[in-house]
Chain A
Amino acid sequence: MSDAKVTIFTGKKIITMNPAVPVAQAIAVQGDRILGVGTVGDLAQWGDYELDEQFKDHILMPGFVEAHSHVMAGAVWEFPYVGFYDRPDPLGHTWLGCQTIAAVVDRLAECERELKDPDQTLVAWGLDPIFLEGERLVAKHLDQISVTRPIFVFHASGHLATVNSAMMRRSGIDRYTPTPGVAKDFDGEPNGELQEPAAMSLAQDGFSAIGVAMMSSNAKWNYAREARNCGVTTIADLGTTRLTMEGQLEAWREATDDANYPARVVVAVGHFDSNSIVSLAVRLRDEEETPKLRFGIVKLVLDGSIQGFTARISWPHYVNPPPGHPGNGLWLIPPEQLADIVSGYHEAGLTVHCHCNGDEATQVFIDAVELALQRHPRWDHRHTVQHSQMTTAAQYKKMAALGINANIFSNHIFHWGDQHAAVTIGEERAARMDACATAEREGVVFSVHSDAPITPMSQLHTAWSAVNRLTASGRVLGPEERISVAKALEACTLGAAHQLKLDHDIGSLEAGKLADFAVLEEDPFEVSPAELKNIAVWGTVVGGTPHVASSK
């Protein structure tokens, strides 16, 4: 044992997630690691200590691990939010939802007045027209805010944007604009709605704004602040950062090296990032890791989204797709190429996390991993099905046999569950989607995630969703797939740590692991399961350093 100072934190209750010693009253920390858990009396055997009682009325848990989110969650807050639901930002301010077109216009008018440079484009995000009653928001509404300053509003789906007349003028968009996706009125004039990237990119500085912001240091900080505010101590940025881009590795390093940076970050390399991902990912893992910056994961995207009707779903496919839909979703990688791609990463000792929303995509990934294993037997690879929304019992059984993990998008049940039952995949398959209970029964190590900023980051919310399976309309969707609070909390800690290959370091509170805690105001085992998502979070401790949430 070294001579470094020992601090003993006491808590009202310490939930360790270590089944051997599930509950404790005190936890001793030396440097950034846990010296031991137990009672203050037990821990005194390690010698001199300083008693820190600031958490004596709080519940301490292993810091939550969010294994699928994106640094974009930090970048979006460079811009005003105009979504339907209330949403807290990383600095602790809750943006009230804009529930009418007038509310959107008022919010933007207020933000417009704060901009000093008259030429600066006002960019906003989160608009979700399906929730706004009456006519659709178009350029003429935004023109009430300004006829001279360009305005660009991203929709929540990411597929559409609405701009004002000044933006159209600056981008040369008029009745003759040839690009498909520039929506036009019955009289042929563009109405301000730009559909899909080719059209949105005509308004270049608006369209690229969030991507540019993502590269900033501030986005990296806000991403970690968002994590801290909900008790998350390790976040995985899954394939968003272009690590081949000059300065990005250094920017992550600079942020995470700062003692005040309140999270550990696993930056997964995206398969499409460069022509030589294997060597890049291996080099990052072997040479660039620091205590708060980890690598070793490659992210693949195999299909689209269920609510966008682009996920690859096995027969009988979609129940009520829009007119003109081809019947099934899109492949983003040719299915017969996947085994070779996975094999390349697999043989290099990397862990592949593959986005599979539909069950057909899950099957193609499972088959690819099986082939990679036949070619190159390798134990404990922990390749992971990401989203895993429609994975079947048979697939989970096979995944268990092959050692594949799952990260289940449980928040979908709340956010889109009603639509899945009615429109996308129908009642029966909606009742068994995001099947945490099946994954548990079949012995697959799994986690649950928010995919922030797609849904707001909060592992208490994703756990709540897995435990209750309540939709936005209030129905229980698929009660048989509900899991216990204990299992959901395990998924958010050890389960996620396992698939990031960090469970030797994080995910439970026990001697030798990193001193990463979530500091909660209430005991998740004591509140009613329906209240899980409402538990207030004091903040976190990362490597022994407390970080109080912004709202405190």
Chain B
Amino acid sequence: MKLSGDLIEVSVIGGYLGAGKTTLVNHILREASERVAVMVNDFGEINIDESLIDSSDENTISLTNGCICCSLVDGFATALESVVSFRPRPTRLVIEASGVADPGTIAAHGHGPGFALDAVIVVADAVRLIEQIADPLVGQTVAGQIRAADVIVLNKIDLCDTLTSVNAELSELNPKALLIYTSEAKADLDLLFGREILRTVSSAGHVGTFESRTHESTQPILRENLEALIKNLPSDIQRVKGIIRLAEAPRIPMVFQLVGRSWDLRALADREKSPEGNRLVVIGPKGSIPIAWDNFLR
């Protein structure tokens, strides 16, 4: 879904070297159904079909589907500035963190004026994760990245024969994150980005199919009603997002994010351009969303 007018949603992609971050970025650029700007560390690794490239220079590739990919060489502040100036404006910014970065630190930049942080996505290598976490040099780095995730993309599951122990390790490090299983990092982008699902397609790369429902209302919401909604959501539902107004501060648009088992509510930095009222979308496996999922908000 689009949160509001000119707002750019920010997804940060972290994960250790070799997990598949760049593969995921390439997948996003290829499959995007919205205008995505991607900021990458390793520009040389971006691998797009020639036929999809509209133009390119040393630090930027423009795609025929409206997406744009840029090098992060000038740092976050400059990258964020340049994204705002792209015309037409992207609706989503995807920042690929370096293999040793704490994606949570980078995500802090995603709340600035004009932006709303969507989620921290961490790609993990199902084959090497346990070995990496035990490594004296990088174990702490890898574990820290997993802990910072809202969404864990567990990649290379087709090559992994120890999935049970990997799952156990992940649920110990971060029991709250939304877990998506992939091979070749082919994650469902609607789920990854928490978008309204307009058509449901089952394809080989996706595990299960998802559907979405949307809530729209005009009256500010009582905090206790929001908390009741969260408490009573079926456990299969791991993605809810939107912009709401709370009764205690109805003039302040609040960004609501529920990913996995944790949720966050923060004011929107840009208060002027946000539409009135409340709009929440819930995404879950097909058949898991009750018709009246938003009873508590009504």
Which A residues contact B (CB, under 8 angstroms)? 172, 176-181, 196-199, 201-202, 204, 208, 244, 272-275, 315, 326-328, 330-337, 360, 364
Complex Cα gap A275–B105 (Å) = 23
Contact present for B112 and A179 (CB under 8 Å): yes
Contact present for A360 and B100 (CB under 8 Å): no
**Given A273-B73, A328-B140, does the pair A176, B249 have CB atoms closer than 8 Å?**
yes
Give the size category of B's interface with A. 35 or more
**Given A334-B138, A337-B99, A360-B137, does the pair A202, B112 have CB atoms closer than 8 Å?**
yes
Please indicate which of the listed interface residues B77, B117, B271 has the most CB atoms of chain A within 10 Å of its own CB.
B77
**Given A177-B267, A178-B255, does the pair A172, B109 have CB atoms closer than 8 Å?**
no
For A364, list chain B residues within 8 Å (CB): 137
CB-CB nearest in chain B for A327:
B140
Q: How many CB-defined contacts (below 8 Å) exist between A and B?
A: 80
Contact present for B77 and A208 (CB under 8 Å): yes
Which B residues contact A (CB, under 8 angstroms)? 16-17, 43-44, 58-59, 71, 73, 76-77, 98-100, 102, 105, 108-109, 111-113, 117, 136-138, 140-141, 144, 249, 252, 255, 266-269, 271
For this complex, 12 residue pairs linking A to B, each with C-beta atoms less than 8 Å apart, are A172-B269, A176-B249, A178-B117, A197-B109, A273-B73, A315-B136, A330-B100, A331-B100, A334-B17, A334-B138, A336-B138, A337-B99
Complex Cα gap A294–B140 (Å) = 39
For B113, list chain A residues within 8 Å (CB): 172, 202
Complex Cα gap A8–B252 (Å) = 76
Please tell me which one of the listed residues A196, A204, A330, A335 contacts residue B137 in the complex, with CB atoms under 8 A apart. Answer: A335
Contact present for A201 and B249 (CB under 8 Å): no
Nearest 7 pairs between A and B by C-beta? A198-B108, A176-B267, A178-B266, A178-B111, A179-B111, A331-B100, A198-B109
CB-CB nearest in chain B for A272:
B73
Contact present for B112 and A275 (CB under 8 Å): no
Tell me, rounded to whole Å, the shortest Cβ–Cβ distance linking A273 to chain B: 7
Complex Cα gap A275–B71 (Å) = 8
Please tell me which one of the listed residues A244, A328, A337 contacts residue B17 in the complex, with CB atoms under 8 A apart. Answer: A337
For A199, list chain B residues within 8 Å (CB): 108
For A328, list chain B residues within 8 Å (CB): 140
For A244, list chain B residues within 8 Å (CB): 73
For B137, list chain A residues within 8 Å (CB): 331, 335, 360, 364
Complex Cα gap A336–B73 (Å) = 21
Complex Cα gap A241–B104 (Å) = 28
For A326, list chain B residues within 8 Å (CB): 140, 144
CB-CB nearest in chain A for B113:
A172
Contact present for B59 and A177 (CB under 8 Å): no
Contact present for A335 and B73 (CB under 8 Å): no
